[in-house]
Amino acid sequence: MQNGHLDQLDATDARTVVLERAVLATNDALAAVNRQWFADRRIVALNLVSSPGSGKTTLLERTIRDLGADLPMVVIEGDQATENDSARIRAAGARALQVNTGTGCHLEAGIIGRALDVLAPQADSLVIIENVGNLVCPALFDLGERAKVAILSVTEGDDKPAKYPYMFAVADLLVINKIDLLPYVDFDVKRCIANARAVRPGLEAIAVSAKTGENMDAWYSWIRRSRVG
């Protein structure tokens, strides 16, 4: 009775298998597949990351209304519970797919691959992924995007980049949103950008109001440049 069972639990009876591989190796491999898929079709994919409520969907609604006629866009929505965001995107005039995030806090490359099969975006278009509102794990999961766009609204505090250094360290663009609210909050745009550049030197930053449309042209030129680059 003791043998068999107890022997297996005996440490001297164990051997160590060295693995040394990335925990997210599977995700990374699927992200590489997506990246190639985009490249083959000259599609630019953007991964929008932020805290909940920074204004990602509002930014997209305005972007679709302003650019949609010239630039075909589809949106993958990673919102957790509701279909609200994809309904808003469709109302703004773009195709959208709401995807289930599984464990809920971020999107993974495999989910994006399946979404692309469904959405079948055309060549030379723009695919925008609205990640789940969260500044921690979306930084870890590569989706195969061209660029990660970190969105920060002025109601969140200009020290956010210092609190979530990893997210800002992997961002390719910082969009500071809700600047129409600057008169009412204690938020220093310059300090925020400096905080972000402390973790990502040279990080490009654009301050906009997705609500009033102020300075949205800077965001549109960045999109156009990202399609060339």
Ligand X SMILES: Nc1nc2c(ncn2[C@@H]2O[C@H](COP(=O)(O)OP(=O)(O)OP(=O)(O)O)[C@@H](O)[C@H]2O)c(=O)[nH]1
Element (H, E) at 113: helix 109-119
- Binding span for Mg ion by CB under 5 A among 4-12, 57-65, 121-129, 165-173: 57-65
169 binds another protein (CB under 8 A): yes
Q: Among candidates 203, 207, 183, which has minimal Cα distance to 194?
A: 203
132 binds another protein (CB under 8 A): yes
Q: How many residues does the chain have?
A: 229
Cβ neighbours of residue 11 closer than 8 Å, sequence gap 6 or more: none
Interacting residues with ligand X between 158 and 177 (CB under 6 A): 177
Q: Pick one of ligand X, another protein, Mg ion, none as the site partner of residue 1 (Cβ within 5 to 8 A by kind).
A: none
- The one among 66, 172, 180, 188 contacting ligand X by CB under 6 A: 180
Q: Pick one of Mg ion, ligand X, another protein, none as the site partner of residue 34 (Cβ within 5 to 8 A by kind).
A: none
Distance CA 58, CA 135 (A): 19
198 binds another protein (CB under 8 A): yes
* DSSP helix/strand/coil, 10: coil
Contact assessment for residue 128 and residue 60, using Cβ atoms and an 8 Å cutoff? yes
Binding mask 102-141 for Mg ion (x = CB under 5 A): ----------------------------------------
Encoding tokens for residue 99? 């995807």
47 binds ligand X (CB under 6 A): no
Encoding tokens for residue 4? 């068999």
- The one among 1, 2, 25, 69 contacting another protein by CB under 8 A: 25
Q: What angle do CA 133, 150, 210 make, to 5 degrees?
A: 85
Contact assessment for residue 171 and residue 138, using Cβ atoms and an 8 Å cutoff? no
- The one among 27, 34, 47, 50 contacting ligand X by CB under 6 A: 50
57 binds Mg ion (CB under 5 A): yes
85 binds Mg ion (CB under 5 A): yes
Encoding tokens for residue 124? 């030379």
5 binds another protein (CB under 8 A): no
Which residues are at the interface with ligand X (CB under 6 A)?
A: 50, 52-58, 79, 85, 133, 177-178, 180-181, 209-211
